Amino acid sequence: MTGRSQASAGDLLELVRSGRATTRGALQQATGLSRATVGQRLDRLFRAGWLREGAGGPVDSPLGGRPSITLEFDDEHAVVLAADLDTRHARAAVLTLTGEILAEHSGTLVIEDGPDAVLGELGRWFAELLEKAGQRTQSVCGIGLAVPGPVDSETGRVVQPPMMPGWDGYDIRGRLARSFTEHTGAGPVPVLVDNDANLMAYGEQRTGHPDCSAFVLVKVSTGIGAGVVVDGSIYRGIDGGAGDIGHIRVGAEALCRCGSYGCLAAVASGGAVARKLAEAGVPAASGSDVRDLLAAGHPEAVGLAREAGRRVGDVLATVVTLLNPGVLMIAGDLAGTAFLTGVRELLYQRALPRSTAHLDVVTSRLGERAGLVGAGALVVEYLYAPERAEERLLAMGV
């Protein structure tokens, strides 16, 4: 808030959503606004359908009296669509505004087919999911999309993505918005795009580690990427390149998909492990194949996954020393016992003891849904942030 006396309806909504003030009296105290002004601004939020009254709270006065009526964010007035693209597979869902998945679909979607085809197909998936969830197309307030490449958050366009040929600089937001309209007949809705590791980190941090002020997630699948959440916000760097640890040089001679030699992803990703297995005569073409072999306890896959973990752990020692996170989460196709063991071996050996003294090294809690939950949360936080909320209320005429 810019000042206590200037708190808008959007600011009041933020106080309620965050749990910092959930009664009329608490809102008056937090903002310095009069009872009448708080009432007027809450009335706008009620008319928009964004707030509802909950159960009565405790009676604060020793003299007794009526309990205060609590205020709650009404998560039933709209839904969010989200999708998470991998190189050969995608997942999409309809979510409530608080992140509950109402309907979900996963299937083959090859990113090398290009943005027009892939985003066109996503629009069809969304239409079918809305019908499956029993939701009207008009209830959709926004779409979130996770992609396996660096994203300029200002434009929503990917920037020189090694694993997304044909996508560089493409207008993803515009095409996905049009695809949604083409398949549903609904009007345009906001589309937000971010890197998959960023959104996985955002979903996992908000869901399982909300009190962790420095959170790092490393996704190891076909490629390797990291998402960083600091003080509850995604850290992207100046143009979306933060966390791209898969292209740190580690001194090997392997050729990476980015065109350089010696990248971490070229020697320690799921794709790299799959290639080594194939060279040894074990059928494996992707990180998902490696995941299946690890689940079956295949000894060669287990050994290569552990060695890949050691490679990644060596790099993460620097990451941990630089960022000093409270949680380091390993996610993706290789995120099993063997890989995690390798990470811990090198991480604790190379990082300063002070950097790891209060560090929890864990695996994903949300699994394959992490990117969807993060994408949905990104949309909600954008649409209901104080300034944006105020703009939307004015556009609604309330």
Q: Which helix (H) or strand (E) holds 331?
A: strand 327-331
Contact (Cβ atoms closer than 8 angstroms) between residue 40 and residue 393: no
State yes or no: pLDDT of 213 exceeds 70.
yes
Long-range Cβ pairs for the range 345-352 (8 Å, 24+): 345/309, 345/310, 345/313, 346/309, 346/310, 346/311, 346/313, 346/314, 346/316, 346/317, 347/313, 347/314, 347/316, 347/317, 347/320, 349/317, 350/313, 350/314, 350/317, 351/316, 351/317, 351/320, 351/321, 352/321
Tell me the chain's radius of gyration from C-alpha atoms: 23
CA 267 vs CA 91, 216, 223, 304: distances in Å: 27, 21, 10, 10
pLDDT reading at 70 higher than 50:
yes
Q: For residue 169, give Cα distances in angstroms to 113, 288, 390.
A: 16, 28, 31
Q: Does residue 56 carry a pLDDT above 70? A: no
Reference 182, options 142, 129, 137, 132; nearest CA is: 137
How does DSSP assign 79-120, residue by residue? Answer: EEEEEEE-SSEEEEEEEETTS-EEEEEEEE--GGG-HHHHHH
Q: What is the pLDDT of residues 246-301, one digit of tens each?
A: 999 997 788 998 889 999 999 999 999 999 999 999 999 888 899 999 999 999 99
* Residue 23 DSSP code: S
pLDDT of residue 258: 87
| Structure tokens that stand for 355 in this block | 């950097």
Cα separation, 203 vs 93, in Å, equals 14
Instruction: Determine the Cα–Cα distance for residues 207 and 256; give it in Å rounded to an integer.
Output: 34
Q: What is the pLDDT of residue 1?
A: 47
Considering the chain, what is the average pLDDT of its residues? Answer: 93
For residue 58, what pLDDT is reported? 54
How many other C-beta atoms lie within 10 A of the C-beta of residue 357?
8
Task: Over range 143-170, report the average pLDDT.
Answer: 94
- The answer to whether the beta carbons of residues 71 and 51 sit under 8 Å apart is yes
263: helix, strand or coil? strand
Nearest alpha-carbon partner for 245 in 140, 326, 322: 322
pLDDT mean over 38-62 = 83
DSSP category for residue 256: P
* Side chain identity, residue 268: A
Give the confidence band of 57 by pLDDT, cuts at 50, 70, 90. low
Instruction: Supply the pLDDT for residue 286.
Output: 87
What DSSP string runs through 205-248? HHHH-TT-SEEEEEEESSSEEEEEEETTEE---SSS-TT-GGGS
8 A C-beta contact, residue 38 and residue 23: no
Of all residues in the chain, the percent with pLDDT exceeding 90 is: 87
pLDDT at 396: 94
pLDDT category at 4 given cuts 50, 70, 90 is very low
> What's the pLDDT tens digit per position in 308-337?
999 999 999 999 999 999 999 999 999 999
Token code pair at residue 226: 């990291």
Q: What is the pLDDT of residue 49?
A: 96
Q: DSSP per residue over 130-195, as a string?
A: HHHHT--GGGEEEEEEEESS-EETTTTEE-S-TT-TT-TT--HHHHHHHHHHHHH-PPP--EEEEE
DSSP letter at 249 equals: B
